[in-house]
Structure formats: structure tokens, C-alpha cells
Amino acid sequence: MFLLDYYLSVCYCSTVSRFFKVYRPYAGWVNVYNYISQNKKAEAVIVKTRAVILREIKYRDQSKICSLYTRDFGKMSVIIKGARNPKNKLSGLFNPGNVVDIVLYKKNIRDIQLVSDGNLVFSPMVPAPDLERFAILYRIIDLVRHTTEGNEKNLSLFTLLAGTLEELYHDNINCQQLYTWFLLRFVSLLGFQPSLRFCVISGKELMPAVESMKLTELYFVLNPGGLALPDASGESSATKQLIPVRLAMLLRTLASTRLPSGNSINADPADIEMLWNLLQDYCSLHFGHTKPGKNLSIISQILLK
């Protein structure tokens, strides 16, 4: 016991000596404590959180490395050992689009965290696989993966993502309408909410001006984002697209809808397609995120025929 106490005393004194070589003498015991705490080896802690699987990569013979968007830690990378072994209880759980409750050993100094357990909350495979659902799913998770930073908690964004996927996995859902709504909410949540009530250039209220001037078209200005009156937008060199007033009204309806279910918003599919292309251009401009790849574009063309 005496030898153990002596050894610990020597270690402690050595740490304090190193501290006084770095910091001036008489800096105070608070600084001594902070220095010792900062140089102490980080310990792994067991944490539970809910996560959306954004991407999976095969690792070695039977494991996976996945990119997740979590409720408590934002975007992060994890390794699931043995996840590709059919006999492993986590097999099939960590597929893109799945929403899972996970247990992990988290260490701040580690870039890839270790998952020890998990349970499925909901999946795009339930009640049955659907081509249209998967096309929209991969657009959503691809957008989130490319436009969010790692280890930055954003509870509002996680709630939007998980809630949208839960609705997407229901039967009789208008997937394209839901995706358009998601784009508008997503870009607004990340600080680029377009102005839909007032002209983004002149500041005039739009609907009274539309009625008094009997307008049939408005401009959607990409930067700064929002609707603009034709006479005001003519003075601006900003990138803009001319859209029918009915599309502007549809945008306002989507913005005021909490979460569309089924076909709760009465809209022409062609109008929805125009809006999602417009909002994808808007996201690309502000986030530097390119449009979906060739495979997703082909799927979308098939779905919209």
C-alpha cells in the first residue's frame, strides 16, 4: 500500500512539474487542475441515441462503416463489427434509410465510434419495397450527407429528417410532394428560408400587388432567395426564374404545412416537379451540393412519366 501511494505521488508530482515548465509559477491550483484534466487520457463512455443511416461501406470480411445522422451528436461515422455476418443480431440493421436506436462506445478523440447494440425503429422495406419511395429516400439522405458537418448537434434537423422518413414509409403517400416539402423545410432550417410573403427585392407584400396588378407570373430569385415582383426584379442582376403565380401560391401552402400526409395538398404532379427542380437549384446554389447523380435522375424520369 505504501509503495502504491509513493508511485501515485511521483506520477502526480511529475505532471505538476511539466505544468510549471509550460505555465508561469504561482499560476494557481485551478490552472494545475485544468492542465491535468486536459492531459488525462480520454475515456470511452456508453451512450444511447437514435440515428438515421445515411451510407454504408463494407469493411474487411464481415464489418461495416456507416455514416449516421444522430439525434444527440449530429453526423458521425461508426463501425459495426460483424454486421455483414447473417448470424449477427445487427445484420441487416444498418442499411441506408433505416432509423435505429443504437448503443455505442463514444470517445471524443476517435473519428469512428464503435456500435455495440441497436434496434430497428422503422425501415423503407416495411411494409414492402417500393421503387418510388427509394428514389426519394436516396435524394433525401444524399442531400443531408453532403450538406451537414460532422459532430454538430442539430435536434431540429434530426426531427425533420426522421419525421419525413417515417411519413415516407407509410402506404398511400405522395412521395414527390413530400420530397418537395422536405426541400423547402430543409433549406429554411439551415438558414436560407426564401421570402414568400414579401418581394425579396422591394419588400412589398406580394398578394395585394398580384391582385392589383393582375399578375400571372412572379420571379423566384435564387440569391437572395424568395419571390419577387416582375418590375422589382428587372432592376436586379440576380439569378432568377419566372414561375406562374399558382406555383408561388403552392410554395406558400407547402411552407405553412406542418407535415403533408397522403395527398393532403391538392397539386398537379407537373407543378410539384417544377417546384422540386427549382428548390434543388436553390439548394445547389446555397450549399454547393450538386444535383442527384445519373442513376437517381434516370429513376426520377421513369417515375414522372
Pairing of strands 74-80, 63-70: antiparallel
Q: What is the predicted pLDDT for the residue at 297?
A: 52
Q: What is the predicted pLDDT for the residue at 158?
A: 97
Task: Say which CATH topology domain 45-123 has.
Answer: OB fold (Dihydrolipoamide Acetyltransferase, E2P) (2.40.50)
Phi then psi for 61, rounded to 5 degrees? -80, -45
Q: Which CATH number is 155-304 given?
A: 1.20.1440.120
Provide the edge-to-edge strand list for the sheet that holds 240-244. Answer: 226-228, 217-221, 240-244
The pLDDT averaged over each successive group of 10 residues in the chain (305 residues) is: 46 47 47 49 84 95 95 96 92 94 92 95 83 92 93 95 94 91 95 95 94 95 92 71 95 91 84 94 82 50 46
pTM across the whole model? 0.80
The DSSP-derived string for the chain is -HHHHHHHHHHHHHHHHHHHHHSPTT--HHHHHHHHHHHSPPPPEEEEEEEEEEEEEEETTTEEEEEEEETTTEEEEEEETTTTSTTSTTTTTS-TT-EEEEEEEE-TT-SEEEEEEEEEEE-TTSS---HHHHHHHHHHHHHHHHHS-BT---HHHHHHHHHHHHHHTSSS--HHHHHHHHHHHHHIIIIIPPB-SB-TTT--BHHHHHHHHT-SEEEEETTTTEEE-HHHHTT--S-EEEEEHHHHHHHHHHHH-S---TT-S---HHHHHHHHHHHHHHHHHHH-PPPP-HHHHHHHHHHH-
Q: Measured between alpha carbons, how far is 247 from 196 in angstroms, rounded to an integer?
A: 11
Q: What is the predicted pLDDT for the residue at 131?
A: 87
The three cell numbers of residue 160 are: 425533420
